[in-house]
Amino acid sequence: MNENYFVKTHALGNEYLVFNEEKTNFKLTQKAIQRICNVNFGIGSDGILLKVPSNKADFGLRIFNPDGSEAEKSGNGLRIFCKYIYDYGFTYNKEFSVETKGGIVKAKIIEISNGKAKIISVEMGKANFHSKEIPTRFTKTEVIGEKLNIQDKEYEINCVSVGNPHCVILKKELNIDEIKQYGHLIETNNYFPNRINVQFAKVLSRSEAEILIWERGAGFTLASGTSSCAVASVLRKRNLVDNEVKIKMPGGELLIEIEDNWNVKMTGEVRQIAAGTLSDELIEDLNK
């Protein structure tokens, strides 16, 4: 593998660039991340995944949003990273563990096509509804069905952490313009000290829901794994769905399974887009 080699992979239209820390000769500063993720001045991406060493799990992963902030966890990012680990021969095992800032997860390659991982399951850990641990500044122990006023809107919000923080709003109808207008205002509201990922969710049946996503540090995205886990957990908490929920997003579908002890499992597809090497000119600019 060359220096500064990258792989670009999408999970339901949520795309990430994967780098191996051992093979990069530039500093992944906030400015460098913003530049690489910019489609005009860089490659363009919804975020960066960095393979790092771990002494607690088989592999270590750091996850960066396109604004340069670091996320504790990413569901699509994890499946993309696991595909990279398997496809590039870092392991021949179909089951392995990954350490993220948001906890250690167990991954399983479920389907292989032409020697490459295609469908991957990740045991994402437990959904946590404790408001201080999410974190939120609400005084109640759990933020389920609480009112939040944003400009002219009064939203009923439900907050949960699945390693990273989420604010789920149940809607009768989903409106892309509305999430694009209010997503950032909710993300950066004073109630959320670490900002928050936002989802609008419409329940379709006891086993299906449709969602729109506004990601912390990334904005509107076509799909999000942790958002799907967060929505399924909130819907289960409110007894609106059963233990297995198909989450439909603009970029595709994920299957989320929730155990009675709140362990969450996510299963879905990942496909590589491209692989290559950053140019010397870009590296020169990144190192300035």
Ligand X SMILES: N[C@@H](CCC[C@H](N)C(=O)O)C(=O)O
Query: Which amino acids are annotated as binding site for substrate, given as ranges?
Result: 14, 65, 75-76, 164, 197, 215-216, 225-226
Stretch that binds ligand X, among 36-44, 72-80, 233-241, 272-280 (CB under 6 A): 72-80
Q: Does 14 bind ligand X (CB under 6 A)?
A: yes
Q: Does 68 bind ligand X (CB under 6 A)?
A: no
Q: Does 125 bind ligand X (CB under 6 A)?
A: no
Contacts of 279 (CB under 8 A, 6+ apart): none
Size of the site for ligand X (CB under 6 A): 18
- Residue of 187, 210, 215, 269 that binds ligand X (CB under 6 A): 215
**For residues 130-163, b (16+ Cβ closer than 10 Å) or e, as one string?**
ebeebbbebeeebbbebebeeeeeebebbbbbbb
- Residue of 4, 9, 65, 100 that binds ligand X (CB under 6 A): 65
Give the bridge partners for 9, in sequence order: 16, 272
Which lies closer to ligand X via its Cβ, residue 13 or residue 275? 13
Residues between 193 and 212 with contacts to ligand X, criterion CB under 6 A: 197
Say if strands 59-64 and 95-100 run parallel, antiparallel, or are unpaired: parallel
CB distance 260 to 253 below 8 Å: no
Q: Mask of contacts with ligand X, 126-165, x by CB under 6 A?
A: --------------------------------------x-
Which lies closer to ligand X via its Cβ, residue 14 or residue 189? 14
CB distance 8 to 17 below 8 Å: yes
Whats the size of the chain, residue-wise? 288
Q: How far apart are CA 169 and CA 147, in angstroms?
A: 10
Quote the distance between the C-alpha of residue 38 and its chain's center: 19
Which lies closer to ligand X via its Cβ, residue 158 or residue 164? 164
Please state the closest distance from residue 218 (CB atom) to ligand X, in A: 5
- Residue of 224, 265, 268, 282 that binds ligand X (CB under 6 A): 224
CB distance 271 to 114 below 8 Å: no
Residue ranges in contact with ligand X by CB under 6 A: 14, 65, 71, 74-77, 164, 197, 215-218, 221, 224-227
